[in-house]
Structure 1
Amino acid sequence: MSIAILMVTIKLLGEPRMSLSAPAMFVADSPGLDFLNSVATPVDAPLDWIADGEGLLAWLEQAQLVSTQVLQGMRKDAMPGELDRVAAQARDLREWFRGFVRAHKGKPLTSAVLDELAPLNRLLERDEGYELVIPETGTGHGLQLQAMRRWKSPESVLLPIGLAMARLVTEEDFSHVKACEGPACTLLFADHTRARNRRWCSMDLCGNRAKQAAHRHRHKALH
C-alpha cells in the first residue's frame, strides 16, 4: 500500500469514518500487528477499517488472510447483521490483544504469560483445519500438502486473525516489537532493520512529521 495514496484519499474523504475506498495500512512487518493497526489516526481523524462487517471482510481480503472466494460466500450467506456482530467480536479481540502487546513489547516473552493468552487459545481451539494432498504448485509435477479450513460460519473468519496473533507471540522476538514514536500515533511494528533502530511507523507519515517539527524548532531557535 502507498502511504501517500492513503493520505490523499483520507483528505479527500474529509470524514472521520473509514470508507471502503481507502486502502488499509500494512506497515508493521507482522500480520498480527497489522491487525492491531486496523484502527489508526494516519492524518487527523481516527479511522477504523473494521468498523462494520463489510469493513472486516475488506480488511481480511487486503491482508490476504482469507481468499476472495470465501469472503464472497460469506457476504452471500450471512444473515442480516451477522457480519456486523462478527466485526464487533474482532474489535473486542483487537483491543484485548493490544493490551497484551503493549504490556509486553520491548522484552522477550516467556511461558509466564501463558495464562494471559487464554482468550487466544480459546479462539484457536475453534479451528476446523485440515490438510489435503494437491498437485505441486509451480513447475513441479509432484504432490504437496496444503492447509485448508472449513468455513462453517461467519465467526470462522476470526480464525486466520487468531493464527496471525499466535504466530506473533511464538515466532516474533517481542524485544523488537515497538510503538511508533509519533506523539499522537498509535501504530505498532516489528523492527526488522539490521540495526534495530526503526522509530516510525512510516517515514511518509510520522517520520516526515518529526523532520518538519525539528526544522520548525531550529528555525524558531535561529530567530
Structure 2
Amino acid sequence: MNRPPIPPMFIADAPGLDFLNSIATPVDVEIDWLDSGEGLLTWLERASLVPRPVLDTFHASALPGELDAVAAQARSLREWFRQFVRRHKGRPLTPKALVEIEPLRRLLEQDDAFAEIVVHGHGEGAVFELQAQRRWRSAEALLLPIADTLAKLICGEDFSQVKACEGLQCTMLFADHTRGHSRRWCSMALCGNRAKVAAHRKRRKQMLHEAPLNAQPGAHLKSQPETRLQLHAQAQAQTQTQQKAP
C-alpha cells in the first residue's frame, strides 16, 4: 500500500475528533490514513495512542491480513461514531444518547487496562507515579485506546461546541475551545485561507464588473494564493506549535 502523500492532521483539539478526521480531503484528493494495517499503525503512533515498542511488536508478529482486518474495524468504528457526532453536535448531550453508544460501551468492556506504580529518579529525589498500562492480548486491542478517546469526548467535551468546518467541501470536525467560541474553520491556513481567497475573488469580480469602461487593466491588486500543499504545511506547522505550547 502506498504511503499517503501528506501526514495525518491533528487539528481538532480533541483526540476523538482527530480520529474522525483520519479521513479527509486536505488538498484535492480524499486521503484515508486508516486504509490499511500499516496505515493504522502509523496513525496510532502519530496520535501518540500506542507506544512505539507495542506497534513494532504487532508489525513483526501479526499474521498476514490480521492488521488489515483491524484497520477495517477501525474504519467501521469511525463511520459509526461520525454519525453519532453529527446527530448531536451543536447542543449538549442528553441521557437519551446513552442507548446510542451501546457498541462503544461493549468495546470498552474488553479493555485490559491497569495502573502501575513506578519510580522516577533515585534517593530522596525519587518521585512515585501512577502510570496507566494495558495488556495487548491481540491485534484487536489496538482499537481500545481509540475507544478511550471516543469515551473521553462524550464524557469530557461540551457537545454544544463540537462543530463542522464551514469549508464547502471539508468534512473535518473540531471542538471549539476559542474565547467566544468563534472558530469556524478546521484551520485558518487551509479552509480559512480558501474562504478569504474566494471572497477576495468575488469582490474583485464585482468591482471589475462595476468599474467604468475606461478603467486601466491591472488597477486592482492580484492575489497570489499559495498552493494547497503549502497551506497544508502551514496548518501542520501551526498544529505543532500549539502542541509545543505550555
State TM-score, norm by structure 2: 0.81
- Which amino acid in 2 is paired with 1:129? A
Cα pair distance change 1:124/1:206, threshold 3 Å: same
- SS for the counterpart of 2:115 is strand
Between stretches 197-206 and 17-26, larger displacement belongs to 17-26
2:200 corresponds in structure 1 to 215
1:30 paired with 2:14, answer yes
Cα pair distance change 1:137/1:129, threshold 3 Å: farther
Q: Shift of residue 183 of structure 1?
A: 0.4
Q: Shift of residue 142 of structure 1?
A: 2.9
Question: Deviations along 1:27-64, whole A, 9 cap, x unmatched?
Answer: 10000000000000111110000000000000000000
Q: Shift of residue 21 of structure 1?
A: 5.7
- SS for the counterpart of 2:206 is helix
Please give the residue correspondences for 1:105-184 in structure 2 after superposition, counting only pairs within 5 Å. 105-136=89-120, 140-184=125-169
- Tell me, in whole angstroms, the C-alpha distance in 1 between the residues paired with 2:126 and 2:134: 25
Question: Deviations along 1:139-167, whole A, 9 cap, x unmatched?
Answer: 95131211100001000010000000000
Between stretches 42-51 and 131-140, larger displacement belongs to 131-140
- Tell me, in whole angstroms, the C-alpha distance in 2 between the residues paired with 1:78 and 1:127: 20
- Tell me, in whole angstroms, the C-alpha distance in 1 between the residues paired with 2:174 and 2:126: 39
Please give the residue correspondences for 1:9-48 in structure 2 after superposition, counting only pairs within 5 Å. 19-20=3-4, 22-48=6-32
Question: Deviations along 1:162-207, whole A, 9 cap, x unmatched?
Answer: 0000000000000100000000000000000011000000011100
1:56 corresponds in structure 2 to 40
- SS for the counterpart of 1:117 is helix
1:68 corresponds in structure 2 to 52
- Tell me, in whole angstroms, the C-alpha distance in 1 between the residues paired with 2:44 and 2:140: 13
- Tell me, in whole angstroms, the C-alpha distance in 1 between the residues paired with 2:62 and 2:3: 21
Q: How many residues align?
A: 207
Q: Shift of residue 120 of structure 1?
A: 0.5
1:197 paired with 2:182, answer yes
Question: Deviations along 1:64-122, whole A, 9 cap, x unmatched?
Answer: 00011000001011100000000000000000000000000000012110000001001
1:97 paired with 2:81, answer yes
- Tell me, in whole angstroms, the C-alpha distance in 2 between the residues paired with 1:202 and 1:137: 41
Aligned-pair identity in percent equals 59
2:228 corresponds in structure 1 to none
CA RMSD, 1 decimal: 1.6
- SS for the counterpart of 2:184 is coil
Alignment partner of 2:63 out of 74, 79, 85: 79
- Tell me, in whole angstroms, the C-alpha distance in 2 between the residues paired with 1:219 and 1:144: 60
- Tell me, in whole angstroms, the C-alpha distance in 1 between the residues paired with 2:93 and 2:111: 24
Instruction: Kindly name which structure, 1 or 2, has the bigger radius of gyration based on alpha carbons.
Output: 2
User: Is the Cα contact below 8 Å between 2:4 and 2:31 reproduced in 1?
Assistant: no
User: Is the Cα contact below 8 Å between 1:20 and 1:58 reproduced in 2?
Assistant: no
User: Is the Cα contact below 8 Å between 1:38 and 1:48 reproduced in 2?
Assistant: yes
